[in-house]
């Protein structure tokens, strides 16, 4: 056990000056103070770099010569991290003041490779619009996260040695969910800690990346599921029902992508193989057969 271990907080930034100072300030007011910020400026053209460099030496500022995909940028930032633990904060989001304190104490007292916690969703004005308490208990969580994935990237703290020893990082081929790939692979390798408290605020802003890349969700999540099944076939056997649930959900994501294109017919086609697997899929199918617009259905789904 290390006394007062260093936490490296990765901030990847591309033209994110609007909420950036508020995000950085939420790190500076942490009750746990042994941290460094690895600020990776992905060739921003706004005032992001100027804001980041206005702070002290606790921020280690790096600027890319040209913009790279997010997974690659995160890997480059990780190479600069010197901490025992790795955390992440996107430039729109916020840490609660005791976030790092609670996580470091949990990790130092246990042999977890990673921990995460509950999340408050906020709007552009900072108003809480949704509370997402985590449901799992600390332990080997692969089966649980296959059935329902609840890990928010901003809430994660990772032991750096799991990345080094298992040669893990963010797959650069994935544009939507390289974080899902990394965290699922960690869950397949090691016990994970869970903190019930709300430790981060995740901000929803218009024109978010998730809406722009909705067509990628199913394929990229399938890549991760296939990867775990191929590398650790014993887990695919042990957690066969949970893997089935995860693969079924890919059809749901394809249906959502079709709805985003206002194509209800295609959405029904994607949903057909799983329509009787869960009541929620059956209910969505009924909505797709109704005169309700795709936009209203998406809103009902919280998307």
What is the pLDDT at residue 211? 55
Q: Which residues contact 138 (CB under 8 A, 6 or more apart)?
A: 110, 112, 115, 191, 192, 193, 194
CA atoms of 294 and 149, how far apart (whole Å):
25
Query: pLDDT digit of tens for each residue in the chain (303 aa)?
Result: 567 999 999 999 999 999 999 999 999 999 999 999 999 999 999 999 999 999 999 999 999 999 988 889 999 999 999 999 999 999 999 999 999 999 999 999 999 999 999 999 999 999 999 999 999 999 999 999 999 999 999 999 999 999 999 999 999 999 888 999 999 999 999 999 999 999 999 998 875 545 557 889 999 999 999 999 999 999 999 999 999 999 999 999 999 999 999 999 999 999 999 999 999 999 999 999 999 999 999 989 977
Residue count (the chain):
303
CA atoms of 32 and 39, how far apart (whole Å):
19
CA atoms of 72 and 66, how far apart (whole Å):
12
> CA–CA distance from 74 to each of 79, 149, 184, 238 (Å)?
9, 21, 17, 32
Q: Which residues contact 44 (CB under 8 A, 6 or more apart)?
A: 13, 14, 15, 16, 17
Do 89 and 23 form a contact (C-beta atoms < 8 A)?
yes
Cα dihedral: 122, 222, 137, 240 (round 10): 150
User: DSSP letter at 139?
Assistant: B
Domains identified in the chain and CATH numbers: 7-205 (3.90.550.10), 212-300 (no CATH)
> Which residue, 108, 110, 144, 151, is CA-closest to 241?
144
CA-only gyration radius of the chain, Å: 20
CA atoms of 277 and 269, how far apart (whole Å):
15
Read off φ and ψ for residue 214, nearest 5 degrees.
-60, -30
pTM of the model: 0.93
CA atoms of 113 and 30, how far apart (whole Å):
22
Token couple for 35: 């941290």
Beta bridge partners of 88: 10
């Amino acid at each position: 056990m290390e006394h007062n271990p260093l936490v490296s907080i990765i901030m990847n930034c591309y033209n994110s000056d609007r909420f950036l100072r508020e995000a950085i300030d939420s790190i500076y007011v942490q009750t746990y103070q042994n941290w460094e910020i690895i600020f990776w400026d992905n060739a921003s053209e706004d005032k992001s770099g100027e804001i980041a460099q206005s702070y002290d030496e606790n921020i280690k500022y790096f600027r890319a010569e040209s913009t790279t995909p997010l997974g690659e940028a995160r890997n480059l930032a990780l190479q600069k991290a010197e901490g025992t633990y790795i955390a992440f904060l996107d430039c729109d989001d916020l840490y609660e003041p005791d976030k790092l304190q609670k996580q470091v104490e949990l990790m130092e007292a246990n042999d977890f490779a990673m921990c995460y916690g509950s999340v408050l969703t906020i709007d552009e004005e900072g108003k809480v619009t949704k509370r997402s308490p985590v449901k799992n208990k600390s332990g080997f969580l692969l089966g649980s996260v296959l059935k329902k994935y609840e890990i928010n990237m901003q809430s994660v703290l990772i032991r750096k040695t799991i990345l080094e020893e298992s040669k893990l990082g963010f797959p650069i081929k994935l544009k939507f969910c390289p974080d899902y790939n990394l965290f699922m692979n960690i869950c397949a390798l090691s016990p994970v800690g869970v903190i019930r408290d709300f430790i981060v605020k995740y901000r929803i802003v218009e024109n978010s990346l998730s809406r722009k890349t909705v067509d990628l969700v199913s394929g990229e999540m399938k890549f991760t599921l296939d990867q775990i099944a191929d590398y650790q076939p014993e887990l695919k056997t042990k957690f066969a029902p949970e893997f089935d649930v995860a693969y079924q959900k890919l059809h749901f994501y394809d249906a959502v992508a079709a709805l985003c294109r206002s194509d209800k017919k295609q959405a029904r086609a994607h949903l057909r193989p799983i329509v009787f697997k869960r009541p929620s899929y059956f209910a969505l199918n009924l909505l797709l057969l109704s005169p309700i617009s795709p936009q209203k259905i998406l809103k009902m789904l919280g998307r």
